[in-house]
Structure 1
Amino acid sequence: MKASPLLLSLSKGERFRAIGKVKKFGKNIIVTEGELFSRTGDSQKLVATMVATIMSVYDRKDIKD
């Protein structure tokens, strides 16, 4: 339904790590959030965040799996 990414800084690193969480799981609406980290050696830096709302669709003949 809607995704709102927010870039916090430029990213440069050896690796990237993404973490996603479901904040609320309702009957039809799911609210999620995510964070993206840039990693170099033992240090990491938060470079982006995102919040998204997703709508569950059940038993719709016009939508296939």
Structure 2
Amino acid sequence: MNYALVFRPEVRQELDSYAVVYRDVRRAVLRRFPYAVYYRIISSRVVVTAVFHSRRDPKIWQDRT
């Protein structure tokens, strides 16, 4: 499955424009929902590392890397 399809259109078009927040992991904050998607771009593929509610501790997702 191409995970870029789950992102909103503007994220899909500019996947590499989001800031790197940890090593090679990027974060896209969703506007409509209080979630952040943490992902990597590996060989032109999007690998979703975590999807977290914005009220959770933002460092928890690093345990999944």
- Who wins on radius of gyration, i.e. which is larger? 1
Q: Whose helix proportion is higher, 1 or 2?
A: 2
In the superposition, the TM-score normalised over structure 2's length comes to 0.28
In the superposition, the TM-score normalised over structure 1's length comes to 0.28
Q: Whose strand proportion is higher, 1 or 2?
A: 1
* Greater relative CO, 1 or 2 (CA 8 Å, sep 6+): 1
